[in-house]
Structure 1
Amino acid sequence: MSSWRTWHRPLVLFALVMALWAVVCAVGLAVDDRVLTGAPVWAKPFKFSVSFVAYSLSLAWMISVLGEDRPRLRRTAWWAGTTVAVASAVEMALITLQVVRGVRSHFNNATPFDAGVYALMGNTVVVLWLGTLVLAALLWRARTADRATTWSIRISTVLALTGAALAFLMVLPTPEQQRREAAGRAVAESGAHSVGVPDGGPGMFLTGWSTTGGDLRVPHFFGMHALQLLPLLVLVLAALAPRSARLRDERVRVRLVLVAGAVYAAVLALLTWQALRGRSPAHPDGATLTAAAAVLAGGVLGVLAALFLPGRGAAPVEEGHGHAGGEVVAGDLGAHRQ
């Protein structure tokens, strides 16, 4: 793990601002009793600010692993990260503006001003996604001292981009909106979070995800936060390695990361399929449960294969290069020679 002082500063600064803004939004939730589409008016900026903290810090750390010996790569990554930070800041500013006005920020075409705000938000999301795409491409070329970390970064950025791209499904007009537009009637909103039911219906605590129909926010959220969960898995495996001979083998840790990435992708596909069929995550049907069982079985088999397939054991202890009590991970030395 690189020192936080080498992390991308604009993204770190934006994350700090979002952490403070999350506190402000929490106060808003406590003192402002306005409700918008079935949820407290300050719920959306609160959730977005918390999500942006995690997203920005993850990218800020990932940029730091590119290495000082590749200045052109780091310079391009710096500009891409800064673009993500600026686009995200504009997105939050527009969401907050609409909260203050007491109207929806997303899907709102009720007035020319609201339609303009929504269009600008759409453009900032595209810029944010493209900036992350550039970072993902650069990070695929990066090498860290630990191959498991390298693969966790590669896989998590792809999954995060996929999860973010699912938001574009939300902007498509619903069947009801299409019928209204075809009949020549005014359409105040275009797009929705929910599938099969109107937005603003019964929802889960805090998240607001629909409990009566599909909700595209579920796979969107799950995909984007692969940026935190897969690197966190690597940290857990590294912490357990001194206590496990198998986990001291870098090849085993890499296999486990690859299995986790495959399972994560399968669950993301399952959640997307479930949402598009109009099924609530709170009430999965038989088809969803069957698919989930298959994913679980595949994951268990994958973990067993990763742990017990033949592989190199830990390298012998070497003076001055010990990890956690003098032991060294075999792959660490090999990775440094790449």
Structure 2
Amino acid sequence: MTDLMDHQVKENDGGDGDGRRGLPRLHRPLAYCAAAMGLLAATGVVGMAVDERTLLGEGVWLKPFKFAVSFGLYALTLAWMIGRTRAWRRTLRFLGTVTVVGFIAPEISIITFQAVRGVRSHFNVSTTLDDLLVKAMGGAAYLGWGLTLVVGVLLMFQRRVDRPMAWAIPLGVFISLAGMSVGFLMTSPTPAQAEALDGGGSPGIVGAHTVGAPDGGPGMPLTGWATGAGDLRVAHFVGLHALQLVPLVAIGLGLLATRVPVLRDAAVRTALVVVAALSHAGFAALLLWHARRGLAPLDPDRALVAALAALVVAVGVCVTAILLLGARRGRRACAV
């Protein structure tokens, strides 16, 4: 297996000098994409300041701004992850480029185009053009999901000295995939839309992110998340950004290891990373369950509070046990 991995490292290095020196390098197309998303986010800020048009109660440029920030973080994180690879480098770099061309660029372009027109981008099937654009975004989203899955699988087979990060990256990817999948739930017709479709009607909007009320009701500042009904976007957001948060936990634990002796054990940090990833996934699942019941994000009921409390207790018990066992193992090693 080691010989096979060494062969893959040499074959997939692609003549990249950074690969031979072992230095991580950002995947260029994804890095350039992240920079472009930064420019688009800045454009969105300017647009919100000078363009007074609104859509569903919020400025038409808010959605391009939010998606530019989200796609920018996604692209930059993926660029960093691919830059750390040693095996399957050519394949991963190709997949990264396809992600930019086939997923990020088409979807953000359509969202921005529809914002310029002042009409909805998602769920909007009111005209032939709008319907085609929705289908194009759907195809790009499915492609992006599949590409992220393949990248996550290939990242599992990388050799790294840092065991916590070796777990953090694929766990973050797979939880992010689950978060992406929440977006597909939003494309299902609401009961009112389904009734109209069954009756032979042609509703201009098919799908919604709000549960229990029409889209466009009262929402939180900036995010726009519903304050009077369930909102699937909350779980979608939390799950999606595990891609950044779980590796950040591994990085944070590595920095703390210089001051906290028990964290110098890679096995302890790895176990804590796994607990952090599972707790993140559990939190996102609870948010999805809450939204599906038509309850607003800032309106927790007793069931959600009890479930969150159980999650916190379980995480606390696991973290305490990991730290105690790690400290005991450290004392035994010192005694030997």
Tell me the TM-score normalised to structure 2 length.
0.89
SS in 2 for 1:142: coil
Pair 1:39 & 2:58 matched: yes
Q: Which residue of 1 aligns with 2:138?
A: 122
Q: Which residue of 1 aligns with 2:77?
A: 58
Letter in 1 for 2:77: S
Pair 1:150 & 2:166 matched: yes
1:313 is displaced (CA, Å) by 3.0
Q: Which residue of 2 aligns with 1:84?
A: 99
Which structure 2 residues correspond to residues 82-231 of structure 1 after superposition, within 5 A?
A: 82-86=97-101, 87-231=103-247
1:143 is displaced (CA, Å) by 2.5
SS in 2 for 1:293: helix
Which structure 2 residues correspond to residues 241-256 of structure 1 after superposition, within 5 A?
A: 241-256=257-272
Question: Where do 5+ consecutive residues of structure 1 fail to align?
Answer: 317-338
Letter in 2 for 1:110: S
Pair 1:266 & 2:282 matched: yes
More helix by share: 2
- C-alpha separation in 1, matches of 2:231 and 2:162: 37
SS in 2 for 1:246: helix
Letter in 1 for 2:96: G
- C-alpha separation in 1, matches of 2:183 and 2:131: 18
Which structure 2 residues correspond to residues 11-50 of structure 1 after superposition, within 5 A?
A: 11-50=30-69
Tell whether the 8 Å contact from 1:213 to 1:278 is kept in structure 2 after alignment. Answer: yes
Letter in 2 for 1:66: T
Computed over aligned residues only, the root mean square deviation of the Cα atoms, in angstroms, reads 1.8
Q: How big is each residue's C-alpha offset from its partner over 1:141-170, in whole Å with a ceiling of 9 and x where there is no partner?
A: 113211001111121011001100111000
Tell whether the 8 Å contact from 2:24 to 2:84 is kept in structure 1 after alignment. Answer: no
- C-alpha separation in 1, matches of 2:115 and 2:278: 39
Q: Which residue of 2 aligns with 1:327?
A: none
- C-alpha separation in 1, matches of 2:236 and 2:201: 31
Letter in 1 for 2:76: L
1:4 is displaced (CA, Å) by 8.2
Tell whether the 8 Å contact from 1:83 to 1:127 is kept in structure 2 after alignment. Answer: no
Tell me the TM-score normalised to structure 1 length.
0.89
Letter in 2 for 1:205: P
Show structure 1 runs of 4+ deviating over 6 A: 2-5
- C-alpha separation in 2, matches of 1:192 and 1:8: 35
> How many aligned residue pairs are there?
312
Tell whether the 8 Å contact from 1:172 to 1:191 is kept in structure 2 after alignment. Answer: yes
Q: Which residue of 1 aligns with 2:330?
A: 313
Relative to 1, partners in 2 of residues 1:4 and 1:98: Cα closer, same or farther, differing over 3 Å?
farther
Letter in 2 for 1:144: R
SS in 2 for 1:247: helix
SS in 2 for 1:82: helix
